[in-house]
Amino acid sequence: MPSSIKKKSLPRRLIDRSPKWARKRHAPDKIPYKVSGRRVYIIPTRFGLIFAIAVFALLLGSMNYSNGLAFLLTFILTAVGFVAMHLTNSNLSNLYVEPMLNEAVFSGENALLQIRLWHQDTDRPEVEISHQLALANKAHCCIEENGSVASMHMQTSQRGYLEIDHYMLSTRFPMNMFYAWTIVLQPLRCLVYPKPSDEAPEIFGNSSQSESNKSSNRPGQDDFAGLRDYQWQDSPQHIAWKSYASQDKLLVKQFSESVSKTSMFDIDALSSGNLEIRLSQLCRLILNAEENQQNYGLKLNDTIIEPSNGDTHKHNCLSALATYQLESFSKRGTDI
Amino acid sequence: MMSDASYRLVPWTLAALLFSALPHALILPMHIFALMIGLLILRFIMHKKVLRMPPNWLKYTMAGVCVVVVLATFHTITGALAGGALLLCMATIKTYEMNTLRDHTALILAAFFIVTSYILDNNAIWVGLYVFIASGLCVFVLLKISAPTVDNQLLFKKAKLFFIYGLPLSIALFILFPRIPGPLWGVPNSAGKATTGISDSMSPGMISDLVKSDALAFRVKFLGKEPNRGQLYWRGPVLHNFDGLKWSAFRNNPLIRNSEDNNNFENPEDINYEVILEPHNQNWLYTLDFAQKLPDQAWLKIDYQVSRSRKISQLTRYSATSNLSIHDNRSRFRGKRLLEIDLALPNNTAKKTRELALEWRKKYKTEEEIVQAALQMFNRDLFSYTLSPKLLDLTNSVDDFLFNTKEGFCEHYASAFVVLMRAAGIPSRVVTGYLGGEKNYLNGYYRIKQSDAHAWAEVYYKNTGWTRVDPTGAIAPERIEQNLESALPDENLGGFFSGNSIFLRLENSWYALNTAYFDWVLDFDADKQKGLMEKLGFKNPDWRATVYILVGGVLTGVMFISFLYWRQSRNLIKEPIQKLYVKFLQILEKDGLTIDSSEGPVDLSLRACEKFPDKSEIIKEFIRNYIESRYYSSADVIQNIKTMKLHLRSF
């Protein structure tokens, strides 16, 4: 791209340096974080400068002709500039931001990092969120009355947690005369599963249907099977609100499906290739099993996930794969 | 290629440009203006895709043609008028090339300059209003260009903020911004601009043409004592040379003093007044006879004409002091040469007049008697006062008037009278100017219109010096005591509003408004700023005082607004969902449930259900919606909020 070869302008370099600077000066921000006016920086844009020059020319003209009306027009435009500065700044200051739970993606896919923004003012400012690594570099967001969600796409290349420790909020609205920005030191995370390999290894005999024909009830999606205690990560859609009303206890509806086969996927059973390839293969196996509505478990050395099926189970298994032997990241997930 | 956002903005930008350009219809030559408006309308038709956009070579050719047309019309491309015309041309051509948003912004910036170029020419009150609206439109279009995806409703909201914050700020800037007086690079005279008013020569018919105009000449406000109507002789050019038909000024009139020689001596009979003079493109200022303290930068000529070195090409305010009772006897000390000029008559003209004058000279002993004889003749010999006299014999106009037609206007009488006096050996001269004025009781300003133009005579008495003699008074004294209309009872001057009291009052209010506008907008200069500073308690204010006030005021304003924000944000709950939740808690608390702020929503709802079992369904639904909207990205937040509000209400 020719634009990347071109030397960056001074303001651009200034803006690009600001995350580093902010990180040095400030502790990570609370969640949710109310953008402090003291951390909003503002500089005039190119149009802002041109506008200022035009107003200055008008001022000289008014002085030369000693024309009161021309003075008035000049000062009206000056005031427009000042108000634009104030409004641009107020788009960001006192804005509330909090990261959202981001849906996990497979390595190689684009991660979607989402932030919820809201503002106490009723009129909705326009802001952009950005990060140097984000694709398309910035996402445009018009903040609605009830808050809105801004999202950045980011390329993933390896499993584990994709994490950025800050992001930038910026705005030129209204008037495009000033550029205001702030660095929010909130981590944005997205779990990245291993990339599923193209073909599943034969070793677990996934193609055979004959091993077991006895049906067993396993948690699934289709048929209501009973209630169990609410656990974290249960979908709110499955919470039994009706029984909650009578029992004062959050229960979750369980569903069952007819499952024909149980497999236990063990990483040690895969001999070929390095760790990443084996994890990819396991990933593919899990996906296939889920698709065929089989029961499956996972064994990664000490970590054993009992056979089951369903979305939650799949997520648990894939998360285990994603974070396997990555010590640098905790397994907490994105905490809210 | 034109972007989609740019395409949608085209009508807006065109409208802003067209609106800014419209007043130019009044100052630009018709062919240039018509060309521009035509091109703009054509551009709009192209936008509607009826016509195809022109190729590049055609645009460049059109730009070239426009420069040539402007050059051919004005013979220059600088100056407010020609520059404005050129800018308008270029902007119009540029509308055929609105590919990017940047093109749009450039056009709006050009529109600001186009408006300004018009202001420099005309700054009447309606222009002020028009400019305000036009700049508002331009700012809105700028707003629209800066955020083409945002809907108009939000933009209107923002525009409202610009109005609310911007207006006081611009007024503060206008009042407080240090004014540097005077031109920075010189004001070019607008080419080919004709103004009505008195000139420095007078031929028969000149003033009677002028009085048909209802245009304003100047406004006067007396500070303190006001003279009688009959004393309001506003002195303009003094005419010394007569060629038999035409009177003209004496070129090398010596200057006797300037405004710096004003003494501070105050005579109780002095009349102090302030004049707002409409531009008349001449050097002289109008003062009452005779000026004592001169306006700033003004010179007094030996015949008591007050002039400035620069032509009055814009509305000008000056103050002066006059004394109505003194005589001008200055020329007595300046040698005879000047008086000889005021005795000269062209040879071979006015033979009968000269004979009559010589006859009087033999008959009467004093100059005063001769003057009286002339006035009596005007009064007695069936002379009449009319705006449309019979045409005079141009070769011998004075004789023809005095002995033949015997009807004329003030200029005829003044001219004939002076010729008579000169023939009789009394130095005399014609003075032109205005007589009278109409007082607006709303603001105390007298309006002196072109129809108040007048010509009278001055004769030189050996004992007392120059004395005013108005021969018109002998024929039509009403002209002096009242006004022109009462002096011309059977001739309609065409005053539509005249005599109608409601219209008169409306007219007066309008003039008062105009004067206030002039006072506070057009003529707000360094002096007035200084006066205002002094009222605010600054002693000897200079530009530094205004800077202090400006900076101090802005800081105070910013602090005040920040304080409001701070106070607002202190007790504001952050998020709509959170707001609803807090409201929910408040209701529960009011109904007797103790709220522990560390308690989570689920636990809370359990307790609430225990306490209000009949409402448990609603409480649980509400909490479910709350948890879902707050912690799950998949939730339909807006829908949830709606249901929560519903629950809250039913609760």
- Supply the range of the domain harboring residue A163: 8-192
Q: Is the dihedral of CA A309, A312, A318, A320 positive or negative?
A: negative
Number of domains present in the structure of chain A: 2
Residue B452 has pLDDT above 90, yes or no: no
Lowest mean pLDDT segment, chosen from A293-297, B180-184, B518-522: B180-184
Cα(B362)–Cα(B383) distance, integer angstroms: 24
User: In what side-by-side order are the strands of the sheet with B284-285?
Assistant: B255-258, B298-301, B306-308, B284-285
A313 and A167 belong to one structural domain: no
Q: What pLDDT does residue A204 have?
A: 56
Last residue of a domain, one of A158, A173, A192: A192
Asked if the C-beta of A81 comes within 8 angstroms of chain B's C-beta atoms, the answer is: no
> How close is the nearest chain A Cα to the Cα of B277, in Å?
15
Residue the block writes with tokens 């007790």: B571
A79 and A107 belong to one structural domain: yes
Residue B520 has pLDDT above 50, yes or no: yes
Q: What are the boundaries of each domain within chain B?
A: 4-149, 346-429+463-487, 527-568, 576-650
| Cβ proximity of B448 and B360 under 8 Å | no
Q: Which residues contact B180 (CB under 8 A, 6 or more apart)?
A: A63, B526
* Residue A253 structure tokens: 């509806």
Q: What pLDDT does residue B241 have?
A: 87
A15 and A48 belong to one structural domain: yes
Q: Which residues contact A60 (CB under 8 A, 6 or more apart)?
A: B184
A137 and A208 belong to one structural domain: no
Cα(B592)–Cα(B608) distance, integer angstroms: 10
Q: Is residue A177 assigned to a domain?
A: yes
Cα(B458)–Cα(B290) distance, integer angstroms: 12
The alpha carbon of residue A215 and the mean position of all alpha carbons in its chain are separated, in whole angstroms, by 40
Mutual angle of helices B526-535 and B152-176, in 10-degree steps? 80
Give me the residues of B, 132-151, that contact A with CB < 8 A.
132, 135, 139, 142-143, 145-147, 149-150
Chain B residues near residue A51 by CB distance under 8 angstroms: 109
A47 and A119 belong to one structural domain: yes
Q: Report the first-to-last Cα separation within chain A, whole angstroms.
A: 39
Q: Which of B160, B121, B154 is nearest to B139 (CA)?
A: B160
* Residue B293 structure tokens: 């303290």
The alpha carbon of residue B369 and the mean position of all alpha carbons in its chain are separated, in whole angstroms, by 49
Q: Is residue A336 assigned to a domain?
A: no
Q: Is residue A333 assigned to a domain?
A: no
Mean pLDDT, residues A33-61:
90
Q: Is the dihedral of CA B247, B251, B256, B261 positive or negative?
A: positive
> How close is the nearest chain A Cα to the Cα of B187, in Å?
6
Asked if the C-beta of B609 comes within 8 angstroms of chain A's C-beta atoms, the answer is: yes
Residue B547 has pLDDT above 60, yes or no: yes
A179 and A276 belong to one structural domain: no
CB–CB of A126 and B524 under 8 A?
no
Q: Residue B237: phi, psi to the nearest 5?
A: -65, 140
User: In what side-by-side order are the strands of the sheet with B271-277?
Assistant: B291-293, B316-322, B271-277, B216-223, B445-449, B438-439
CB–CB of B147 and A173 under 8 A?
yes
Cα(A78)–Cα(A70) distance, integer angstroms: 12
Span B14-64, pLDDT tens digits = 999 999 999 988 888 888 889 889 989 988 888 887 677 788 888 889 888
* Residue A142 structure tokens: 């018009």
Chain B residues near residue A126 by CB distance under 8 angstroms: 147, 150
Give me the residues of B, 505-534, that contact A with CB < 8 A.
521-525
Over the Cα atoms of chain A, what is R_g?
Answer: 28
Q: Is residue A3 assigned to a domain?
A: no
Task: Using CA coordinates, name the residue in chain B closest to A142.
Answer: B150
The alpha carbon of residue B354 and the mean position of all alpha carbons in its chain are separated, in whole angstroms, by 50
Cα(A253)–Cα(A244) distance, integer angstroms: 11
Q: What pLDDT does residue A260 have?
A: 54
Lowest mean pLDDT segment, chosen from A64-68, B590-594, B628-632: B628-632
A165 and A253 belong to one structural domain: no
Last residue of a domain, one of A170, A192, A214: A192
Asked if the C-beta of B184 comes within 8 angstroms of chain A's C-beta atoms, the answer is: yes
* Residue B321 structure tokens: 């002091």
Span B372-418, pLDDT tens digits = 888 888 887 778 787 777 777 777 888 888 888 888 888 888 888 99
DSSP code for B269: T
CB–CB of A58 and B116 under 8 A?
yes
Give me the residues of A, 185-224, that contact B with CB < 8 A.
none
A61 and A187 belong to one structural domain: yes
Last residue of a domain, one of A143, A173, A192: A192
Span A219-266, pLDDT tens digits = 545 555 566 666 666 666 666 666 666 666 666 666 554 445 677 888
A209 and A174 belong to one structural domain: no
> How close is the nearest chain B Cα to the Cα of A11, in Å?
19
| Cβ proximity of B311 and B297 under 8 Å | no
Asked if the C-beta of A245 comes within 8 angstroms of chain B's C-beta atoms, the answer is: yes
Asked if the C-beta of B607 comes within 8 angstroms of chain A's C-beta atoms, the answer is: no
Q: Which of A9, A66, A278, A11 is nearest to A159 (CA)?
A: A278
CB–CB of A75 and B131 under 8 A?
no
> How close is the nearest chain A Cα to the Cα of B5, in Å?
15
Asked if the C-beta of A66 comes within 8 angstroms of chain B's C-beta atoms, the answer is: yes
Cα(B586)–Cα(B570) distance, integer angstroms: 18
A134 and A164 belong to one structural domain: yes
Nearest Cβ partner for B574 among A32, A50, A177: A32
A251 and A156 belong to one structural domain: no
DSSP for B466-508, written as a single string: EEEE-THHHH-HHHHHS-HHHH-TTS----TTTT-HHHHHHHH
Contacts across the A-B interface (CB distance below 8 Å): 189
CB–CB of B165 and A58 under 8 A?
no
Q: Residue A320: phi, psi to the nearest 5?
A: -60, -40
Asked if the C-beta of A178 comes within 8 angstroms of chain B's C-beta atoms, the answer is: no
Span B477-505, pLDDT tens digits = 777 666 666 655 444 444 444 455 677 77
Give me the residues of B, 284-323, that contact A with CB < 8 A.
314
ipTM: 0.72
Cα(A170)–Cα(A41) distance, integer angstroms: 9
A216 and A318 belong to one structural domain: yes
Asked if the C-beta of A227 comes within 8 angstroms of chain B's C-beta atoms, the answer is: no
| Cβ proximity of A167 and A129 under 8 Å | yes
C-beta contacts of A278-282 below 8 A and 24+ residues apart: A279/A159, A279/A194, A279/A321, A279/A324, A280/A194, A280/A195, A280/A196, A280/A197, A281/A197, A281/A200, A281/A201, A282/A194, A282/A321
